[in-house]
Amino acid sequence: MGSIIEVRQVNKAFGALQVINDCSIQVEEGSITGLIGPNGAGKSTLFNLIAGTFAPDSGRIHFAGEDITAVPSDQLFHRGLLRTFQIAQEFSHMTALENLMMVPPQAGENIFNTWLRPALVHEQELHVRQKAMDVIEFIGLKHVRNELAGNLSGGQKKLLELGRTMMVNARVVLLDEIAAGVNRTLLQDLIRNIQRLNQEMGYTFLVIEHDMDMIAQLCNPVIVLAQGSVMVEGSIEAIQNNQEVIEAYFGNDAH
């Protein structure tokens, strides 16, 4: 289907530390692409560059054929480029359902609409609530929809964060270590939901993950980042059998 994200010869330094070094990657539309590598390889920085949190020092980033190098993250969000975080960022004093309802912009956020167009505000709130109910059932959290999000388990919070991407018209979702702190049962729920979003709704995913079992289940291709540059790209089987990767980055953990 062609590339939906293209990173072209991007560089990023923080002071004297060169974190991203002449890095180029492509993410094919409709794929679940893995991004792996040791701590300090630059994975999260690359995510932040793609998501508009940072601007690169040089190089270009394209999304769906448009140059987004200088586009801030809030504008990219509304274009359908979203990211999750290693530590879930829920509104802890709101219910799980309310967390989902907070995502899409609503007419009621404008005080004039509240005064002058109350019927529109009410109709939109009902629509958003119904969508949130559909999403929370999809991700398997209907039984905790009225629970404060701060009381959810780590895995449930990750499912909720995935659900938040469904409340807008997402095209690409950047997943940053979504398996961290998640028990094996809920991890399988996460994997199934990611696969369903990919297969049924056409989401493209770029996944940072240290859990190689999850990468093996989900991702093709897999990109190995090292010292801010692409070391190798291919199937997980090819990556796991690449002697250079094994020796430099996985050691005994590769098997």
Domain coordinates of the chain in residue numbers?
29-55+69-90+154-254, 91-151
Query: How many other CB atoms are found less than 10 A from the CB of residue 112?
Result: 8
Bridge partner list, 13: 18
Return the higher-pLDDT residue of 180 and 230. Answer: 230
As a whole number, the mean pLDDT across the chain is 87
Higher pLDDT, 247 or 51: 51
Whole-angstrom CA distances from 12 to 3, 46, 61, 159, 228 are 22, 9, 13, 31, 9
Are the CB atoms for 195 and 203 separated by under 8 Å?
no
Report yes or no: 11 and 21 within 8 Å, Cβ to Cβ: yes
Residues 6+ apart with CB under 8 A from 42: 12, 19, 20, 21, 23, 225, 227, 228
Task: Give the whole-number percent of the chain exceeding pLDDT 90.
Answer: 60
Lookup: tokens for 65: 């054929």
Least confident window among 40-54, 74-88, 112-126, 161-175: 112-126
pLDDT for the residue 154: 87
Residue 161 has pLDDT above 60, yes or no: yes
Distance CA 139, CA 162 (A): 8
The pLDDT of residue 251 is above 70: no
pLDDT of 89 reads 72
What's the pLDDT score for residue 109? 47
pLDDT given for residue 178 in this prediction? 84
Give the mean model confidence (pLDDT) for residues 218-227: 94
pLDDT of 185: 87
Q: Is the pLDDT of residue 76 over 70?
A: yes
pLDDT above 70 covers a percentage of the chain that reads 87
Instruction: List, in sequence order, every beta strand (DSSP E) within 15-91.
Output: 17-28, 32-36, 58-63, 66-67, 81-83
Backbone angles phi, psi at 165, to 5 degrees: -70, -20
Tokens of residue 244, six digits: 């250079």
pLDDT digits (tens, 9 = 90+) for 86-143: 555 788 899 999 999 988 754 444 555 555 556 666 677 888 999 999 999 999 999 9
The answer on pLDDT for 19 being more than 70 is yes
User: How much is the pLDDT for 254?
Assistant: 43
- Does the domain made of 29-55+69-90+154-254 have the CATH classification 3.40.50.1970? no
Residue 255's pLDDT band (cuts 50, 70, 90) = very low
- Give the 3-state secondary structure of residue 205: strand
pTM for the model stands at 0.84
Provide the 3-class DSSP secondary structure of residue 217: helix
Distance CA 140, CA 31 (A): 24
